[in-house]
Amino acid sequence: MAQANVNPTRMELTKQKKKLNTARKGHKLLKDKRDELMRQFLDLVRENKALREEVEEGIKKANQNFVLAGSVMSKEAVSVAFMAPKQEVSLDVSERNVMSVDIPVFDAKMRTSDANDIYSYGFAFTSSDLDDAVFSLSQLLPKMLKLAESEKSCQLMAAEIEKTRRRVNALEHVIIPRAQENIKYISMKLDENERSSQVRLMKVKDMMLEEAHHYKDRQ
């Protein structure tokens, strides 16, 4: 196989054995990492799916309300109503480390915490459907933030799992077999060399004895 590029020496043999050892250790660690990542990912992705379904349902409802509101009010009136929002959201981002993946944690701060104080317009010239729409959307916001958090985490973890799986496979199917092959090749070559030098020595010994005692002539 790929033996052509290794020298059959003792030093190379030690090197390859060390390499095999390291590769085995690394393989075990990476495999554990992959399994744990996968377990956490599956939990997270289930949560992600549930949240997404909720949020999509919620947005659909809110949109229905907005359409109703839009049908009784002109677009300009709606625009004016939303021109100066009362509510303000600022986002605090920290990170959490899950199996060497940094995933973001979002923490939103609202300016007004009172749920009834979010309407940025007087009630005189707007439809009540608009109130419903705004209310349902504001109820949805915490879920949307959670969705953003878990979906981003899922994306990042999926990328990390893919990378780790590639590494595990490379070690398992390429690096480790190749090192084993090399070790086998070198040890066979060394044995072969040893045998051939043994034979050579025996032969030389025979020749020297012959020279000294002339066994052949005596017979």
Partner 1 sequence: MYKIAVLGDWDSIFGFATLGLDTFPISDPEEGARVLKELAESDYGIIYITEALAAKLDTHIQKYADRQLPAIILIPGASGNTGAGIAAVKRSVEKAVGSDIIFNN
Binding site for partner 1 (CB under 8 A): 38, 41-42, 45-46, 48-49, 52-53, 55-56, 59-60, 62-63, 66-67, 70, 78-79, 82, 85-93, 95, 102-104, 106, 108, 110-111, 118-120, 133-134, 137-138, 141, 144-145, 147-149, 151-152, 154-159, 161-162
3-state secondary structure of 21: helix
Distance in Å, CB of 27 to partner 1, minimum: 19
Q: Which is nearer to partner 1, 97 or 219 (CB)?
A: 97
Contacts of 40 (CB under 8 A, 6+ apart): 98, 99, 157
Identify any residues that bridge with 96 across adjacent strands, giving them in sequence order.
Answer: 103
For every residue of 131-194, DSSP letters joined together read HHHHHHHHHHHHHHHHHHHHHHHHHHHHHHHHHHHHHHHHIIIIIHHHHHHHHHHHHHHHHHHH
Distance in Å, CB of 152 to partner 1, minimum: 4
Q: Which is nearer to partner 1, 6 or 62 (CB)?
A: 62
Distance in Å, CB of 123 to partner 1, minimum: 14
Q: Which is nearer to partner 1, 2 or 93 (CB)?
A: 93
Report how far residue 209's alpha carbon sits from residue 18's, in angstroms, rounded to the nearest whole number. 45
Q: Which is nearer to partner 1, 162 or 194 (CB)?
A: 162
| Helices and strands counted in the chain (H then E) | 5, 2
